[in-house]
């Protein structure tokens, strides 16, 4: 079966993003997939890259090194995160800045506009919670974070995007609506990779 990594990209423990990721994981495991989970809220690292020179990149803290090993291990990654100010929470963006480095996630080739993708052969799926209704996210705001996440982060490094799933609106949702969202995440887990 498939090796799946689930990254709960909410900086707080016990979020609805975490619940969606857990439901995805539970259902993927019940179908025989091997699942590992990481929670951004548990991870300790400096999200500031701190230099403009990739050759002077700071060493990865233990939590980032462990996550990197899980990225190398996985065949499919699921990232769950909340939509904050139209994008990723700062700590999640900092995680991408720190861990997806040249020579590891991609490699610049002299004379080529785009780098070699060093994480090819893997797929990715994204679960996003938002207070913004889906039609506003897509038609009014232009789904900028979707483009950034799928094209400029995941595909840039070689992950093949397999789905970007918006769970909204969270604000004002009741137990019935959230239960439906959890069942939807579980169904995605059942159909995983």
**pLDDT tens across 62-121, in order?**
999 999 999 999 999 999 999 999 999 999 999 999 999 999 999 999 999 999 999 999
Model pLDDT, residue 54: 87
Compare 52 and 69 and report the one with higher pLDDT: 69
Q: Give the count of beta carbons closer than 10 Å to the beta carbon of residue 70.
A: 17
Distance separating the N- and C-terminal Cα atoms of the chain: 9
Residue 55 has pLDDT above 90, yes or no: no
**In what helix (H) or strand (E) does residue 164 lie, and over which residues does it extend?**
strand 160-167
pLDDT band at 53 (very low <50, low <70, confident <90, very high): confident
Domain of residue 82, residue span: 3-190
Region of 4 on the Ramachandran plot (φ > 0 left; ψ -120 to 50 alpha; else beta): beta
Residue 52 has pLDDT above 90, yes or no: no
- Residue 41 DSSP symbol: G
> What percent helix, strand, coil does the chain show, rounded to 5?
40, 20, 35
Q: What is the CATH number of the domain that holds 37?
A: 3.40.50.360
Residue 70 near residue 37 (C-beta atoms within 8 A): no
Closest C-alpha among 137, 37, 35 to residue 82:
137
Task: Measure Cα distances from 132 to 10, 143, 147 in Å.
Answer: 17, 11, 17
- Residue 155 DSSP symbol: I
Question: Mean per-residue pLDDT for 171-187?
Answer: 97
Residue 193 has pLDDT above 80, yes or no: no
- Residue 85 DSSP symbol: T
- Residue 191 DSSP symbol: T
Domain count, the chain: 1
Strand partners, 37: 6
Q: Measured between alpha carbons, how far is 10 from 149 in angstroms, rounded to an integer?
A: 15
Q: Measured between alpha carbons, how far is 66 from 127 in angstroms, rounded to an integer?
A: 22
């Amino acid at each position: 079966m498939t090796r799946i990594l689930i990254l709960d990209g909410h900086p707080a423990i016990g979020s609805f993003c975490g619940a969606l990721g857990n439901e995805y994981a539970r259902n993927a495991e019940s179908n025989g997939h091997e699942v590992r989970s990481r929670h951004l809220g548990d991870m300790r690292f400096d999200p500031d890259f701190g230099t403009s020179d990739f050759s002077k990149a700071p060493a990865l803290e233990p939590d980032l090194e462990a996550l990197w090993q899980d990225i190398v291990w996985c065949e499919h990654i699921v990232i769950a995160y909340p939509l904050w100010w139209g994008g990723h929470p700062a700590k999640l963006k900092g995680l991408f800045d720190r861990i997806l480095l040249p020579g590891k996630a991609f490699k610049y080739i002299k004379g080529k506009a785009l780098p070699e993708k060093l994480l090819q052969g893997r797929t990715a799926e994204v679960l996003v919670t938002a207070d913004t209704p889906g039609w506003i996210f897509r038609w009014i705001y232009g789904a900028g974070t979707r483009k950034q996440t799928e094209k400029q982060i995941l595909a840039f490094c070689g992950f093949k995007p397999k789905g970007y799933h918006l769970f909204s609106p969270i604000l004002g949702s009741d137990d019935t609506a959230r239960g439906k969202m959890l069942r939807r995440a579980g169904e995605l887990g059942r159909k995983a990779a």
